Amino acid sequence: GNSVTQMEGPVTLSEEAFLTINCTYTATGYPSLFWYVQYPGEGLQLLLKATKADDKGSNKGFEATYRKETTSFHLEKGSVQVSDSAVYFCALSNGGGSNYKLTFGKGTLLTVNP
């Protein structure tokens, strides 16, 4: 079956530090990969995605590259801000259209201090 493993944290950084959150996956076929962010007390927001090998998803300074050879989709940001403090979820989907399922990692809590 499908599974996603990500570093659980918590991760605490100072503002302007470099961020890496590791994510690896197990899946059959060619899944799509996602990073979602959840701010305190809110639902999840799609941060970025990649649908095929070597694709790079990027948004708001965050990047992740779909590495099929290492089955990884690590999230990076060169300079974090206090407003980036949130829980980050790596996820994969093996389906298409509207009737598919997401498999989530356990989430990584990021705290950025001023």
Partner 1 sequence: GAVVSQHPSRVICKSGTSVKIECRSLDFQATTMFWYRQFPKKSLMLMATSNEGSKATYEQGVEKDKFLINHASLTLSTLTVTSAHPEDSSFYICSVGQTGEQYFGPGTRLTVT
Task: Give residues in contact with partner 1 (CB under 8 A).
Answer: 32, 34, 36, 41-46, 49, 51, 89, 93, 96-102, 104-107, 109
Shorter beta-carbon distance to partner 1: residue 17 or 102: 102
Shorter beta-carbon distance to partner 1: residue 5 or 17: 5
Distances from the Cα of 97 to the Cαs of 55, 82, 91, 100, in angstroms?
A: 20, 36, 16, 7
Shortest distance (Å) from residue 85 CB to partner 1:
15
| Partners of 19 in the β-ladder | 77
Shorter beta-carbon distance to partner 1: residue 77 or 108: 108
